[in-house]
Structure 1
């Protein structure tokens, strides 16, 4: 009997092996159990959905696809939940080496550990001001009050040196543009691009500041000056690459802390384990779920022949729970000896902002552990997930013991 995909989906073995649908709400609800079944039964499987594509779930095969850009191009992706209208090119995620390397070499020096370390205390100030906004109430919607505004407020200020009076407005555009499933996402993406264009023009009238914006504006690409469109696209990727992904990890981390208060207790008793906790949150609860590639030629992966032009969807979050790579992969282990996760991707397109993301998560976790007590998800709350591409909770309503502010009221 033929399996029907329309309507409510029963995720059974046939669905996993032949009808895998990366856009299914059922997959969003049952993501990790479904991917575990795929790793076991069909680690490289072909789905007949959305015109057909391959699903890759084991770490060894995920790395094979991610690192071999000559065999698998980033220039043509797969069906994704994107806002309507003409496609917008966000660089360099949509191009391959060697051109991709030229764009990456522009930005990488500005996100090295030594640079990011200088942003730590200003970041801590932002974290505490946001916590101050709700700590006296003993309740908050964590995604709205903290997780989503936090990464953008720090990035626009510390990395781009955006005008203080623009922070609220542009961060609002960026937050909404990062949530591609929302109908207003495209409008906000256009508004963000417009703001970047105006911001760059104003920066050209100012003296150099020695930051990533100066580097992008002055760049030579393939021996010619970078175009205005490429400047906007490059800065846009820097913005969008770290907002909803960081927010998603923070939201998932808070859910895990509420479900397992013993983790919070352990971190209060041994705060030196907080960096380890960040790595486990990234491995188990990373929000960068999957990414697509297209085969340039006939290629074998995991014993399956993938033909030229066929789409491949590789799951980072599945690779991070691969039983062949991690001992007790589903266990949150604060003293895990080896944690070679791929939460930031792999290959030439690995996230350029990984150092910044780690610092943001570590500083946020330090202050959350220190200041919020008796944290629980509000009774009866229904936690939903907006996408299987970026696994961020739709909302995380919390209750906790009210605390005291540490700073004067501040408007960002």
Structure 2
């Protein structure tokens, strides 16, 4: 479902928030943050009768409790909030709990350490400038299509997976479309991506080792046994999908915010040393990974509410990141915010393994935007639409700016 960010009168009232909360409702896509603020205030742990019934958790303290207590709140047991479309596919390790989850994470984590990611910064900067070169002379572009969506995938397939150069555009197209769940082509592209992964793995098995994350996954032992072919595909699948649309979403919402508040870009041009701070504020305020569900293994309680075994719990990172009890002036974009313990990458054992890579991509992209794009505005009549799901990325962000020169290296 898609809904415009402004326009029609909202259908959300207190009863909707307290009893009928629906994570895929178009009215929630339009009014996400005001609705989550109302939930934190009125019913921080609320029981919804939608999608078969589930709990909604919105305060940071409670969100952390659910995320970190995997022994009580599992990722394994039939999460259906909302019901996933199309055929199921086991994406590892997000669909398993420790200790098995840790075994898969230990395979991949070393390949996304800061020291490794720092080696990718120079080629990422070249890619960023090449993408900007593609539209800077025109003075206008649709930012999601021209920049935000191509960037994370092209960088990841090339630098992390060492995919063949001739495959980059095609497979990034599959992955990018698969992440846009509102598009009718999404499921077909998801299956094409899985097929590409299987062929890619077979090709890599015939080649010599490259010492990368692909080699680590292919040759892994999981709890004393060889990893299965299905597990190899599932692990690579998550590495790909975990960071593409989420990073693109942050870039798109950051651009929208900078267009609506040009003082942000002006401040960053004057004080570029604040770009890392800006990245953290964009992640806190506009993180596109907004929530995820867990299932109670046994009877428990959250915030004084009794949760029964088998009941599902939907926790909102986006709400925790604007919790008034944790952040001063949480709805203010503050470049000088000294403490910013946001949960844009999740928390607990399933915290995003690619956070270092995402931060680097965002920092390099923002640095180039600050330097190269001037007088950036939303195109006249632009009305930003959001996908109503757990990945809150703008459908399109059409912008105008002062035309500029291509980079010297192009």
Where on the TM-score scale, by shorter chain, does this alignment land: which range?
over 0.9
Question: Once the two structures are superposed, what CA deviation does each residue of 1:236-271 show, in whole Å capped at 9, x if it has no partner?
Answer: 000000000000000000000001111100000000
**Cα distance between partner residues in 2 of 1:314 and 1:329:** 18
Are the counterparts in 2 of residues 83 and 183 from structure 1 also a CA contact under 8 Å?
Answer: no
Residue aligning to 1:70: 71
| CA-based RMSD | 1.2
Residue aligning to 2:300: 299
Give the 3 Å change call, closer, same or farther, for CA 407–196 of structure 1 in structure 2: farther
Question: Once the two structures are superposed, what CA deviation does each residue of 1:114-146 show, in whole Å capped at 9, x if it has no partner?
Answer: 000000000000000000000000000000000
**Cα distance between partner residues in 2 of 1:113 and 1:387:** 33
**1:54 matched to 2:55:** yes
TM-score w.r.t. the length of structure 2 is 0.96
Partner SS state of residue 293, structure 1: strand
Pairs within 5 Å for 1:371-382? 371-382=372-383
Q: What is the CA distance between 1:81 and its match in structure 2? A: 6.3
Residue aligning to 1:350: 351
Partner SS state of residue 385, structure 2: coil
**Cα distance between partner residues in 2 of 1:182 and 1:395:** 13
Are the counterparts in 2 of residues 253 and 285 from structure 1 also a CA contact under 8 Å?
Answer: yes
Partner SS state of residue 293, structure 2: strand
Residue aligning to 1:238: 239
Question: Once the two structures are superposed, what CA deviation does each residue of 1:345-390 show, in whole Å capped at 9, x if it has no partner?
Answer: 0000000000000000000000000000000000111210012311
Pairs within 5 Å for 1:86-235? 86-235=87-236
**Cα distance between partner residues in 2 of 1:407 and 1:297:** 61
**Cα distance between partner residues in 1 of 2:131 and 2:294:** 38
Are the counterparts in 2 of residues 82 and 180 from structure 1 also a CA contact under 8 Å?
Answer: no
Residue aligning to 2:26: 25
Q: What is the CA distance between 1:9 and its match in structure 2? A: 6.5
**Cα distance between partner residues in 2 of 1:181 and 1:398:** 22
**1:249 matched to 2:280:** no
**Cα distance between partner residues in 1 of 2:403 and 2:383:** 23
Q: What is the CA distance between 1:222 and its match in structure 2? A: 1.7
Partner SS state of residue 136, structure 1: coil
**Cα distance between partner residues in 1 of 2:200 and 2:381:** 44
Are the counterparts in 2 of residues 252 and 393 from structure 1 also a CA contact under 8 Å?
Answer: yes
**Cα distance between partner residues in 1 of 2:250 and 2:205:** 35
Are the counterparts in 2 of residues 23 and 81 from structure 1 also a CA contact under 8 Å?
Answer: no
Are the counterparts in 1 of residues 51 and 82 from structure 2 also a CA contact under 8 Å?
Answer: no
Are the counterparts in 2 of residues 372 and 400 from structure 1 also a CA contact under 8 Å?
Answer: yes
Residue aligning to 1:12: 13
Are the counterparts in 2 of residues 283 and 342 from structure 1 also a CA contact under 8 Å?
Answer: yes
**Cα distance between partner residues in 2 of 1:105 and 1:194:** 25
Are the counterparts in 1 of residues 194 and 237 from structure 2 also a CA contact under 8 Å?
Answer: yes
**Cα distance between partner residues in 2 of 1:133 and 1:387:** 30
TM-score w.r.t. the length of structure 1 is 0.96
Are the counterparts in 2 of residues 81 and 181 from structure 1 also a CA contact under 8 Å?
Answer: no
Q: What is the total number of aligned residue pairs between the two structures?
A: 402
Gaps in structure 1 of 5+ consecutive residues = 1-7
Are the counterparts in 2 of residues 27 and 388 from structure 1 also a CA contact under 8 Å?
Answer: no
Q: What is the CA distance between 1:77 and its match in structure 2? A: 1.5
Partner SS state of residue 279, structure 1: helix
Are the counterparts in 2 of residues 143 and 394 from structure 1 also a CA contact under 8 Å?
Answer: yes
**Cα distance between partner residues in 2 of 1:10 and 1:171:** 37
**Cα distance between partner residues in 2 of 1:79 and 1:314:** 11
Q: What is the CA distance between 1:408 and its match in structure 2? A: 6.0
**Cα distance between partner residues in 2 of 1:266 and 1:9:** 34
**Cα distance between partner residues in 1 of 2:239 and 2:391:** 16
Q: What is the CA distance between 1:80 and its match in structure 2? A: 2.8
Residue aligning to 1:336: 337
Q: What is the CA distance between 1:407 and its match in structure 2? A: 4.8
Are the counterparts in 2 of residues 78 and 293 from structure 1 also a CA contact under 8 Å?
Answer: no
Partner SS state of residue 77, structure 1: coil
Are the counterparts in 2 of residues 28 and 385 from structure 1 also a CA contact under 8 Å?
Answer: yes
Q: What is the CA distance between 1:186 and its match in structure 2? A: 1.3
Question: Once the two structures are superposed, what CA deviation does each residue of 1:312-334 show, in whole Å capped at 9, x if it has no partner?
Answer: 00000000000000000000010
